Every structure is written in structure tokens, then in C-alpha cells.
Amino acid sequence: MEQLLGINEIKALYPDEWVLLGNPEMDNSQIDVVSGIPIYHSKDKKEVCYIGRSKTVDFDKITLIFTGNFSKTRKITGIFNRIKQ
């Protein structure tokens, strides 16, 4: 099994990538990831979701993080754009 790494180590190893983490440990607020076991990583979020899925069976909890910064011009789109009122 892989080794538990702190969030700073994960960011250094996989800069600007999506990282699937097994058994993540959260801070006291239960919002921010403190550490976890990297399962799969890629620049492509969909790749991590599809390929990484089969690698999660040995973990109680999983989470997906992005180790880079989102651009300020990035638009958030999704289901809300498809709902007509």
C-alpha cells in the first residue's frame, strides 16, 4: 500500500494536477485536507475519476483534490446553466 503524505508533500510531487486520495485526514473544520494516500493523479480530472475509480476498493474514504490554483477568469458551469426557470 502507498504511504500517507502531508498536503505540502502531495502538492510538491504533483503540481497543478488532480489527485485522488485514499483515507484522507481532514483539519478540525472538516473542510481542508491535511494528508492522504495518493492513489492516482493526472492533469485531466476526468481521467483521474474514471481510471482511479477501480483503485479505490481498499480505502474507507476517498477524496479528489486539485494541487494548483484556479484562474480568476474560470467560469463555473454545470447543471445550473441548464435549468430553465
Residue 39 has a pLDDT of 95
pTM across the whole model: 0.79
Distances (CA, A) of 6 to 10, 36, 82: 6, 7, 38
Instruction: Provide the residue range defining the domain that includes 75.
Output: 5-82
Number of domains in the chain: 1
pLDDT digit of tens for each residue in the chain (85 aa)? Answer: 479 999 999 999 999 999 999 999 999 988 899 999 999 999 999 999 999 989 999 999 999 999 998 776 656 555 555 554 4
Residue 70 has a pLDDT of 75
Residue 85 has a pLDDT of 46
Pairing mode of beta strands 62-66, 33-42 = unpaired
Cα 12–chain centre separation: 14
